[in-house]
C-alpha cells in the first residue's frame, strides 16, 4: 500500500513538533490569502524567518558556550597533554577528575555544547517534513488538491493510470491508491511535466465543475491554481532546478549562501593548540556547501528555496548575535554560570561555600597533590644518591639496635 504522508506521520517525537509547525505554516498562508496572495514559496520564506527566530535562544546558548570554551580549552588541552599516552586506570581517573574540576571552575557542563544541538535537530527534521508536505498542513492548499483527487477517484480504472503517472516520482513505487489522501500525496509531488501528462491521461474530468468554497471552478482551473501557488518568479517549486538557466541559480545561491554562513560561523582560533580541529572545520565549510549545491540540482526547487531562506536568515541573525556576544564579558558569563550551578548543588547551600570556591579548592588540591608527588619523587632520588645504602637497616633487629643506641646516647648526654 502507498505510504500516506498526508496523515502527518512523524513518530512520537517529530509528529507533535511537525503538527505545531504546521499550524504556524497554515496561519501564515491564510494571512497572505486574506490579502489575495496565494503562494507557497512566499509562505516558506516567512515560515523560515519565524522558526529561525523561535530557535534564536538555542543559537545564543550554543555560541555562549563556544565563547566560554575559548577560556576553558587551553586548560583542558594542558590536562590532555599531561596524560597523553597514559592508558592505565589511575591516569585516566586523574585526567577525568582534573577535567571535571576545570568544568566546575567555570560553572559549565561537558554536555552544555551538545544540548542545544540535540534540541534543535528534531525541530529541523520536523521543519523539513512540513516544507516537503505542504498539503498535509495547509488547509487551503489541501482543498485545491482534494477537489482534483475526488474527481480522479471517480474515474474507472484510475489506479492503473495513476500508477503509470507515479513512475519517476520519488517514494512512490507501489500500485495501490487506497484513499483520497494518498492521491493528494502523489499529486503534490507532480512537476509541470507530470501535470501535462495528467491532463492527457484524465481528459474526461477537466471540464467537470467542483465547488471550492463559494465559487465553482473546473478541474482544469483547479490545476492552474495549483501550479500558480507553486510558482515563484517563474520557477515551479515542484520541478527540479536542473543545470539550465534560470533553474541553476537555485543551487548556486544555496551553495554560495551556505559557504558565507559557514565562514561566518567559523571559530577564529588565534592559537596553534587546535590546528587539526580548525583544519577540519575549514574543510567542512567548503565540502558541505558543495554537497548541498549538488543535491539541490536533483531535489525539488522548493527544497532549494528553503535552504536559501534558511541561510539568508541565519546570516542576518548571526550578525546581530555577534554584536550581542561582543558585549558579553567572559568573566561575567562565568560568574553567572557558577551562580546557576551553585543553586543546583543542594549540599553546599547551607555551609556558606560557593561552587566557585569549591571548584578552585579542588583544582588547587589536585595541583598541590601533583606537586607533592613530584617533590616526593625528587626527594627520594636525592636521598638515594646521597646516603650510603649499606648503612640502612635491613631487618627488625637492626632497627631495634639503632633505637637502643640512640637511647644510650641520650642517657650519656
* CB neighbours of residue 57 within 10 Å: 11
Is the pLDDT at 360 greater than 90? The verdict is no
Highest mean pLDDT among 217-221, 277-281, 403-407 belongs to 217-221
Instruction: Judge whether residue 60 has pLDDT over 80.
Output: yes
**The pLDDT value given to residue 31:** 95
Average confidence (pLDDT) over 188-195? 92
Is the pLDDT assigned to residue 386 strictly greater than 80? no
Domain boundaries, the chain: 1-137+333-346+354-383, 138-234
Instruction: State how far the alpha carbon of 147 is from the alpha carbons of 30, 39, 119, 228, 238, in Å.
Output: 19, 18, 39, 16, 19
Q: Does position 348 have pLDDT exceeding 90, yes or no?
A: no
**pLDDT of 87:** 86
What average pLDDT does the structure give for the chain?
Answer: 78
Provide the 10 A C-beta neighbour count for residue 352. Answer: 7
User: Which range has the worst mean pLDDT, 91-105, 233-247, 397-411?
Assistant: 397-411
Model confidence band, residue 195 (pLDDT cutoffs 50, 70, 90)? very high
Instruction: Tell me the C-alpha distance between 110 and 135, whole Å.
Output: 42
Q: What integer pLDDT is reported at residue 243 of this predicted model?
A: 87
21-40 burial: b if 16+ Cβ within 10 Å, else e: bbebbbebbeeebeeeebbb
Q: Is 111 helix (H, G, I), strand (E, B) or coil?
A: coil
pLDDT at 9: 56
Q: Is the pTM of this model over 0.85?
A: no
Q: What nine digits make up the cell of 176?
A: 495501490
Q: Which of 5-14, 73-82, 196-205, 242-251 has the lowest mean pLDDT?
A: 5-14
Q: pLDDT at residue 20 above 80?
A: yes
Please compute the mean of the pLDDT values over residues 288-297 and round it to a whole number.
89
User: pLDDT at residue 249 above 60?
Assistant: yes
Question: Do the beta carbons of residue 18 and residue 26 sit within 8 Å?
Answer: no
Instruction: Provide the grid cell at 195.
Output: 501535470
**pLDDT surpassing 80 at residue 198:** yes
Dig out the grid coordinates for 82 from the structure: 599531561
Taking 70 as the threshold, does the pLDDT of residue 379 lie above it?
A: no
Q: C-alpha distances in angstroms, 234 versus 134, 148, 229, 288?
A: 19, 23, 11, 28
Tell me the average pLDDT across 171-191: 75
How confident is the model over 314-335, as pLDDT tens digits?
Answer: 999 888 888 888 888 878 888 8
| 152, 183 Cβ separation under 8 angstroms | yes
Which three cell numbers mark 286? 567548503
Q: Give the per-residue pLDDT at 334.
A: 80
The pLDDT of residue 186 is above 80: yes
Q: What is the pLDDT of residue 308?
A: 93
The set of cell numbers assigned to 410 is: 641520650
Query: Is the predicted pLDDT of residue 373 greater than 60, yes or no?
Result: no
% the chain with pLDDT above 90: 26
Q: Output the DSSP codes for 127-196.
A: HHHHHHTHHHH-HHHHHHHHHHHHHHHTSTTHHHHHHHHTTTSTT-------SHHHHHHHHTT--HHHHH
Q: Is the pLDDT of residue 269 over 60?
A: no
- Strand partners of residue 235: 232
382-397: average pLDDT: 48
Model confidence pLDDT, tens digit, residues 132-168: 889 999 999 999 999 999 999 989 888 888 888 888 7
Q: Kindly indicate the confidence band of residue 231, based on its pLDDT and cuts at 50, 70 and 90.
A: very high
Q: Which of 65, 103, 84, 76 has its CA nearest to residue 273?
A: 76
CA distances from 385 to 280, 382, 389, 393, 399 (A): 50, 5, 9, 17, 22
Per-residue pLDDT for 370 more than 50?
no
Question: Residues 6 or more apart from 213 whose CB is under 8 A from it?
Answer: 143
pLDDT number for residue 328: 81
More confident residue, 241 or 279: 241
Amino acid at each position: 500500500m502507498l505510504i500516506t504522508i498526508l496523515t502527518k506521520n512523524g513518530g512520537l517525537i517529530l509528529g507533535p513538533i511537525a503538527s505545531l509547525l504546521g499550524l504556524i505554516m497554515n496561519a501564515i498562508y491564510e494571512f497572505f490569502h486574506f490579502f489575495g496572495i496565494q503562494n507557497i514559496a512566499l509562505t516558506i520564506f516567512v515560515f523560515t524567518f519565524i522558526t529561525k527566530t523561535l530557535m534564536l535562544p538555542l543559537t545564543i546558548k550554543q555560541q555562549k558556550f563556544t565563547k566560554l570554551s575559548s577560556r576553558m580549552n587551553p586548560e583542558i588541552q594542558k590536562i590532555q597533554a599531561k596524560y597523553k599516552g597514559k592508558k592505565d586506570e589511575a591516569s585516566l581517573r586523574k585526567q577525568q577528575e582534573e577535567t571535571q574540576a576545570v568544568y566546575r571552575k567555570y560553572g559549565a557542563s561537558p554536555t552544555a555544547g551538545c544540548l542545544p544541538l540535540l534540541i534543535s535537530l528534531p525541530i529541523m527534521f520536523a521543519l523539513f517534513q512540513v516544507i516537503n508536505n505542504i498539503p498535509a498542513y495547509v488547509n487551503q492548499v489541501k482543498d485545491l488538491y482534494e477537489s482534483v483527487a475526488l474527481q480522479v477517484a471517480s474515474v474507472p480504472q484510475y489506479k492503473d493510470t495513476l500508477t503509470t503517472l507515479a513512475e519517476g516520482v520519488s517514494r512512490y513505487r507501489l500500485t495501490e491508491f487506497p484513499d483520497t489522501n494518498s492521491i493528494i500525496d502523489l499529486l503534490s509531488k507532480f512537476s509541470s511535466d507530470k501535470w501535462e501528462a495528467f491532463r492527457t491521461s484524465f481528459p474526461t474530468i477537466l471540464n467537470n465543475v467542483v465547488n471550492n468554497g463559494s465559487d465553482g471552478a473546473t478541474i482544469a482551473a483547479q490545476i492552474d491554481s495549483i501550479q500558480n501557488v507553486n510558482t515563484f518568479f517563474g520557477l515551479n517549486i515542484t520541478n527540479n532546478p536542473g543545470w539550465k538557466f534560470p533553474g541553476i541559480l537555485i543551487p548556486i545561491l544555496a551553495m554560495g549562501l551556505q559557504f558565507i554562513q559557514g565562514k561566518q560561523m567559523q571559530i577564529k582560533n588565534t592559537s596553534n593548540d587546535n590546528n587539526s580541529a580548525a583544519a577540519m572545520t575549514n574543510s567542512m565549510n567548503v565540502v558541505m556547501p558543495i554537497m548541498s549545491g549538488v543535491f539541490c540540482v536533483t531535489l525539488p526547487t522548493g527544497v532549494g528555496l528553503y535552504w536559501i531562506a534558511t541561510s539568508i536568515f541565519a546570516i542576518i541573525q548571526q550578525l546581530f548575535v555577534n554584536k550581542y556576544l561582543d558585549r558579553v564579558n567572559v568573566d561575567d558569563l562565568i560568574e553567572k554560570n557558577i551562580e546557576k550551578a551553585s543553586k543546583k548543588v543542594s549540599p553546599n547551600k547551607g555551609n556558606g561555600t560557593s561552587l566557585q570556591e569549591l571548584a578552585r579548592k579542588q583544582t588547587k588540591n589536585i595541583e598541590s597533590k601533583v606537586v607533592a608527588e613530584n617533590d616526593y619523587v625528587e626527594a627520594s632520588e636525592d636521598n638515594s644518591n646521597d646516603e650510603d645504602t649499606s648503612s640502612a637497616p635491613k631487618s627488625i633487629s637492626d632497627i631495634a639496635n639503632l633505637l637502643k643506641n640512640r637511647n644510650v646516647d641520650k642517657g650519656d648526654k
